[in-house]
Structures are given as C-alpha cells and as structure tokens.
Amino acid sequence: MALLLFDLVLCALLLLLAGAAMLSRSLTQAVTLFIAFGVMMALAWARLKAPDLALAEAAIGAGLTGALCFTALVRYAKQPAYPQPALWRPLTFIGLVTALLLASLSQIPLQPSSAIPALVQQHLPQSGVSHPVTAVLLNFRAWDTLLELLVLLLALLGARQAPGDLPRYRGWSLSISWSRLLSPLLLLVSGYLLWRGAAAPGGAFQAGALLASGLVILRLNQQLSWLSWRHFWVRMLVLGGLLAFVLAGAVSLLLQDLGAVWLSWPQSIAGAVILIVESFATLAIAVTLTLLVVGEPKPEVADA
C-alpha cells in the first residue's frame, strides 16, 4: 500500500514536470523543469528494479543533458520572445491518439512470453562476468555496444562540423574550489562503478557518464585546458574505445577455432577481455560526452 502511494506520487510528479516543461512560457523554466524531470526518472528506474539505468540516468539525464540545454539557453537570450501558439488543435489530436494508446495497454500480457531472459541466466556462467546486464552489453550483444560507440563518435564528428561561438564562462571562485573538491570523488566513484560492473550494477556506461560529468565540471571551471580535440592523445582516447573493441574482436577470433562468431570472447579469458574493453570504452565515452557538452573553446587568451 505504501509502495502504491509512492508510485502514485512519483508518476504524478513525472507527468506534472514533463507537462509544465512543455507548456511553461519561459524557456529557462522549461529547461530547469526538464532537469528535475531527469532526476525523477532516475528515481523511477530505481523503483522499477533497474539500478543500472538509475545510475546512468542520474549522470546523463539530470547532469549532462542539463548542462547541454543550459548552453543552448545562452544563445536564446538574444532572441526575441516567441508568440505562444494555440493549444486546442494539437491537444485534441494528441489526446485522441493517447487515449487510443491507453486503451490498448490492456492488450499487454502480464506474463512475459520471451525465452531470452532464461537464456541469459543459463549462459551467464560462460560470459566471464556475473552481472547479467554487463554480460548482455559486453558479451551476448556486444554488437550493440560496438555500434553505440560508433554513434557517439559520429555525433561528436557531426557536432564539430557545426561550431557555434559561445561566450567564455569565467569561473566563479566558489565553483572552482568546489569543482576541485568534487572531481577526485567523482573519479573514485566512476572507477569503482567500472570495477564493480562485473558483479553488480555498474559498468562502462555509468562510469563513463559519471566521469564525463566530473570532467565537464572541471572544464567549465577553466581547468583541464588540454582537454580539446586539438590534442592528439584526446583524439586517441575518443577512438580508443572503438579500436580496443575491434582489436579484442579480432584477437579472440584468432584465438578461437574456425567457425567462431565475430565478437564472441574465448570463455577462459572472457572476464579479462571484458574488463579491458570496458576500461577503454569508459574513457572514450567520458571524453566524447565531455567534448560534446563543452564544445571547442576558443584559443586561450594569453593572460587566462
């Protein structure tokens, strides 16, 4: 009963925050409400027994997306206010479609009919890790993760083609000292998440996202000025996730007998391969997300 009350309050909050973000008059309000919405989503994932997602959402949905949107807000400050369009036409149409969708929810069976979760449980001992989500991401469906790293790289390359000049943010002394205090802690926690991902919720994505948020905090406070695309090793870090993945795939193809499938690790060294691939993927995800969020700063001024 208490849990149902919690669910009711959480769902009502989610809907209210999303609705208010969509309908509020000022864009600043909309972005702030959207960040709060991200935090509530993380809470919902934790409630729905998805701690991996809760960790990732807390770092990505609430942290990085918020920073991204606030950067975009700066550009809107110069724009004239937009007229508010009428609401009734979209409301009628969307309301109709949503009502139909809601009515179709009763068709969803309560019993899951897929045999895949049982298969995951059955093959978990051969995967090299004991946490099922990590096993799926880095072993059973490693293709997804490989292509996802490619998507991240493409997004970064695409964003680099459209540079917009942003006013440089001069660090504020309190936030600079706070970032110095916070960043070693974030580094420690993301390292722990990476290591822990083999046996418990955690892994490359959560660790990468958390590391990225730490790097963004430092970067926004005028530290880590080497962290830009101009630096050769930063480019190598960004590419490193994909390269390590492909190399691991090629090496394990050579180590196995003929007929082995691409991206299937030999059982005896699966744990080590997953850890190596995850470490490089964490660094690649962290650096790519950081570069996506902070963008390319203008060349340093001499006195800065």
Interface of this chain with another protein, residues 213 to 272, rule: CB under 8 A? none
Which is nearer to another protein, 110 or 302 (by Cβ)? 110
With contacts defined by CB under 8 A, name the span among 3-11, 230-238, 239-247, 251-259 that binds another protein: 3-11
What six digits make up the tokens of 85?
């369009």
Give yes or no for a contact between 281 and 149, defined as CB atoms under 8 angstroms apart: yes
Angle at CA 196, nearest 5°, toward 191 and 198? 125
Question: Where in 103-142 is the site for another protein (CB under 8 A)?
Answer: 105, 108, 110-112, 114, 116-117, 120-121, 132-133, 135-137, 140-141
Binding to another protein in span 50-89, by CB under 8 A: 50, 52-53, 56-57, 60-61, 64-65, 68-69, 71-73, 75-76, 78-79, 82-85, 87
Residues 201 and 218 sit within 8 Å (Cβ to Cβ): no
Residue 278 binds another protein, judged by CB under 8 A:
no
- How many CB atoms within 10 Å of residue 256? 14
Decide whether 72 or 261 has the Cβ nearer to another protein: 72
In Å, what is the CA distance from 73 to each residue of 61, 77, 78? Answer: 17, 6, 10
Contact pattern for another protein over residues 7 through 26, marking x by CB under 8 A: xx--x--xx--xx-xxx---
| Cβ nearer to another protein, comparing 162 with 258 | 162
Does position 3 interact with another protein (CB under 8 A)? The reply is yes
Which residues touch 209 (CB under 8 Å, ≥6 apart)?
56, 59, 60, 63, 64, 285, 286, 289
Q: Which is nearer to another protein, 63 or 249 (CB)?
A: 63
- CA separation for the pair 60, 65 (Å, rounded): 6
